[in-house]
Amino acid sequence: RLIRRMVEHFGTEVTKLKRIEYAGLNLKGVKVGRWRYLRQKEVNNIRELVKLETLDFKK
């Protein structure tokens, strides 16, 4: 919504918008309507962003 509002502020309408990355996560390799589990590194990157301790995923 933020991008749409920013563009509309300048008098232009957003008709199609595709998010390609957010908080270091991307949609590479994920088909439309599908999902995937986060990788260990992605989980820890997000935890660092919000100032939480990283997790050790070693078995």
Residue 17 lies in a domain: yes
H-state helical runs in the chain: 2-9, 40-49
Distance CA 41, CA 56 (A): 10
Domain limits for position 31: 2-49
Residue 9 lies in a domain: yes
Inter-residue contact 43 to 24 (CB < 8 Å):
no
Provide the 8-state DSSP code for 39. P
Inter-residue contact 36 to 43 (CB < 8 Å):
no
Coil, strand or helix at 40: helix
* Greater pLDDT, 36 or 59: 36
Residue 7 lies in a domain: yes
Residue 57 lies in a domain: no
**Residue 59 confidence class, pLDDT cut points 50, 70, 90:** low
pLDDT digits (tens, 9 = 90+) for 23-58: 889 988 899 889 999 999 999 999 999 999 988 887
How many folded domains does the chain comprise? 1
Distance CA 43, CA 49 (A): 10
Residue 55 lies in a domain: no
Residue 28 lies in a domain: yes
Using a cut of 0.85, tell me whether the model's pTM lies above it: no
